Amino acid sequence: MELTVLVDNNTLIDCYLLAEPGLSLYLRDGDKQVLFDCGYSDVLRRNAASLGLDLAGLDQVVLSHGHNDHTWGIMPLMACLAERAAETGRACRPTLTAHPKALLPRRLEHGEPIGSLLCPDALAQCFDLVLSREPVPVTDRLLFLGEIPRLFPFENSVPIGERLESDGPVPDDLPDDSALVYRGDDGLVVLTGCSHAGICNIVEHARRATGQRRVAAVVGGLHLRQPDPARFEATADYFRRIGLAALYPGHCTSLAAKIALSRTLPVYEVGSGLRLSFA
């Protein structure tokens, strides 16, 4: 699998791309092209053009969860698909996979929208939708993990704003937060958007869902934003126990968290333009 970080909060040195507070990963697994999250704006489209990546050729789009910094870039992506269809006379319809609650409206307490701006009916104009709480194969070796069991008490999180369900608003504990896992020759590669469900919960669910215990790498946002030494240590301890080979923390991972984790774990830099390869 070839992985390119299309959107992250940072860019790499001497890599002339754009950054924004969001995440998008472009994946190529054999002849399949997959986009994991879409960032916040048209940055994914502009960076993809700079890197020579054809977003209109995507086979799959996967959403880690429904927050705006992972879903609002889907509108520029839809424009890209529509433009290609107009040019070629052929519809370009990737499959879009997400948790069923990922597309619900969300807001902060003062009313600021922080969820998807597009409902399933709107997205169905450009995508074949697969909305599932259960794991779903994306390619032969990539698996969408579905709803993540909350296993570790130290990863309990505070709700962020409200989720607008059919019977009214509820405190949003992000039940839709999910991830991708690649079953590689050297172990699992876990790709996460924000890890609202808890990065250790996500990795443990990936191990159980695949039956594969070895973890070669974790790539993406860890949602470790506030200084919390106890949680940093518990996270590092879990990763040490499972023998994590490489950690690529980006997006919503603070400098304090990266420094704390790097004391005992193999932590590597992440930014727009990073390319990784996994057998």
Give the pLDDT mean for 156-163: 92
Residues 6+ apart with CB under 8 A from 93: 81, 126, 127, 128
At residue 110, the pLDDT reads 86
Tokens of 99: 């948790």
- 169-178 b/e (C-beta count within 10 Å ≥ 16 → b): eeebbbbbbb
77-106: pLDDT as tens digits: 999 999 999 999 888 899 999 999 999 999
What are φ and ψ of residue 200, in 5° steps?
Answer: -70, -40
d(CA 35, CA 58): 7
At residue 227, the pLDDT reads 85
Q: Match 């040195």 to its residue by tokens.
A: 13
| Choice between 243 and 226, residue whose per-residue pLDDT is larger | 243
**Is 226 a residue whose pLDDT tops 90?**
no
Give the pLDDT mean for 40-62: 97
d(CA 239, CA 199): 10
Cβ proximity of 21 and 9 under 8 Å: yes
**Is 55 a residue whose pLDDT tops 90?**
yes
Architecture of the domain made up of 2-277: 4-Layer Sandwich (3.60)
> What residue spans define the domains of the chain?
2-277
Cβ proximity of 223 and 252 under 8 Å: yes
pTM: 0.97
106-140: pLDDT as tens digits: 999 888 999 999 999 999 999 999 999 999 999 99
Q: What is the rounded average pLDDT for all residues in the chain?
A: 96
